[in-house]
Structure 1
Amino acid sequence: MRVIVLGAGVIGTTSAYFLQQLGHEVTVIDRQAVPGAETSLANGGQISVSHAEPWANPSAPLKVLSWLGKEDAPLLFRLRADMRQWLWGLQFLRECTPARTRHNIHQIVQLGTYSRDVLRELREHLGLQYDQRTQGILHFYTSAREFDGALAPAEQMRALGCERQVVSAEEAIRIEPALAAMRDRLAGATFTAEDESGDAHLFTRELARAAEAAGARWRMGCHITALREAGGRIDHVEITNEEGRYERLQADAYVLALGAHSPLLVQPLGISLPIYPAKGYSVTLPVRDAALAYQTSLTDDEFKLVFSRYTSAAQGGRAARDVLRVAGTAELNGYSRALSEVRCAAIVRRVEELFPGAADTAAAQYWSGLRPATPSNVPLIGSTRVPNLFLNTGHGTLGWTHACGSGRSIARIVSGLAPELDFAFCGPQGAGAGVQPAQLPA
């Protein structure tokens, strides 16, 4: 079949690669000049199956209320006259029950574990290099209340096969010696040895090259303006091409992987996707003192931050150097990517508080990206009421964690094959015994 993938982020790129591997004629369309140049560009870089507790959980409503109006809050609802935001917020509250939280953790862990396995197969098969580190992920807590609240979700994750082990403060420091500077404040930690980290943007670029070498076609610098339906199917996609001219492209099937912009494209078709942009921030800091900087990828659940370390490539005669990437928080404020100085400063302040002297904060580089968040944190993967339109979107903060599993799954669904994963896929196809497919609103 001819398949058009809409979006060349990490989700669209993995979709394209696996579709091409199944023998399809694949074209990828994106407005950026290169793959992975939006939300995949400067994110936290974790492959974190252990990060499976959704934002919507029983403790969230009171936290969100206490954070309203606080510019540096980890999760900030910047209330606006936006019906989509309010409807999303109501759906978010419905997902905060204990039963829904357990269900959503199950879905997120299932997809994450499968996806991590697929990533490893892909890395070995293609020999991909993307500054990966396979040292695990350590979740640390400076609040006893936050640590106690993490124990039950960690136990559920272990029961599902994600070995997120509770460790003492002393064991946490043994795993990551840089935490010694905050020993007196460590309330506890969990460690998932199988989790990984790396440069998601570099991974996306490398995988796109492999897909292109195998025959996939990339149409970069093209703005997607509309999907047009005829006879109950998508007839064509309209774009403004690389030369600024109108163009119509036709295919047998279309995969929507436009992240936070996905619902805007399909709304005229009468398809309502429960996705809202959650602006995340990242700060990239050169390492000042290697002895004080962390090596292991870390998660600070209380402040909703993740910490990774990279070796940046040499540029313009400058030697390669180690950098720290700190990313996270969430701001629900429409489609603006404007940086808040207060929120940027709060991230840098937390880095200095935890790892004093480790980073050159004067040389900090700031970035923001719009994560496609569903109220449940469970992504939308599968078919729609339009027979030749498929979804691979809504991955929130776990886009790279879930990318390879999502890409392989949607490629199989488009091909009429059963997914290999027990997951609540959208549409009627299901994925084996026990799966309850999630139906999208008409």
Structure 2
Amino acid sequence: MKPIRPLIEIDDARALIRQHFSERPVKKERVPLFEALGRYLAMDLNADQDMPPFDKSTVDGYAVNTSMLHRKLTSGENLSNGCPSLRLVGEVVMGTEVAIEEVDLEDSCIYIPTGGFLPKGFDAVVKLEEIEQKDGRICFENLMNQSGDKSMPVFQLQPGTNVIRKGEDVQAGDKIIKRGRRLTRYDLGVLGMLGFKEVEVIVPPSLSIATTGDELVDIDAPLSPGKIRDINGTVLAGIAREWGLGPVKLTRLEDTYEAVESYVKSEIDQCDILITSGGSSVGKKDYIPAVVQSLSDHGLLFHGMNIKPGKPIGVAAMKGKPVVLLPGNPVSTVVGFIVLVSELVNQFGFDIQHPFCYAELMETIGAEDGRTTYHMVRLTEGEEKMEAAPLRGKSGLITYIANADGYVVVPLETGEVKAGSRVKVFLL
């Protein structure tokens, strides 16, 4: 393979991915609602009814007609031992609609529990603790001010006080959840409220991840001179599972052309996305670019990105499936996985979002070596804002990223970001 050049910018790399893999077939399946947590929705879901389907009380209390009650509070009518009062004419039973016929709204209230159906003609609820019962009537003395002046209520009771209106949560026809969203426990609550016992979700793509290097040994193996433990596959599989992908198959390859070629030829038929970690540069035993170049549909779409860390990254299509070449340094392979594999997975119908927050940068950082640079940072909570302190480390050190809370991207064209700047921190 020739030296890595020219280097492609991150936005151009993502555009190439969308161009070549946007027509991926999306596999779907229906699952019970209680099994849908963390799955990605396969279609837009719209509400077919208002929720709640009726006006309901948010407290235990007494349903009133506000205009009538206000008149009594200010006129002094229907006093019971000196306080304005209403006649109790009934009770709302949970799970039923109360039909109140021929009720004099000027002198009536009805007991209603939390969540109860608000009867027609009543538009607010007064809390139980704000009333007293005297002489068989419901007295609203606590709605009066405490100065003894009965001409003004303590507060202006408004229509809708302590009431959730019909359709206030969701209205019929509303798009409640978009296709591709990863369902949270609260989404399941919304879907259950709307009567979805099952939901159609996307079948996640399967990943085959191969690490390569004669220096690699099993995690539990003793270390002899020149050997290191194979951690990249475990880390990448962890990110994949965190995103809801899988199944994930891990393999370690010998540093030979034949081993790499045999693996790629057989494994491409067993997965939806094939990923390699290590052997992606131009070293003497970096065979993966040459193998993928020879077996892919149209050669490497690109090989080499203008980012740091993560320069020797490549992508190809093989039998229409994406193949991703990642470096062997732990931080480089994680950065490449986050910025590119997420874009690939989204072509399968997912909508993977990278959470972020804003913080004040504590030290000046820049785009290093003429490349867009990903700086690992540690977040702390200051007196008034979050603070992001850049960490110092190398791409070959797993603790560099393990000790970070997130990363700040400094684009090549930006050059430098001064200490004290407000920066966007993508959370790890």
Q: TM-score, with normalisation over the residues of structure 1? A: 0.20
Rg: which structure is higher?
A: 2
Q: TM-score, with normalisation over the residues of structure 2? A: 0.20
Q: Which has the higher contact order (CA 8 A, sep 6+)?
A: 1
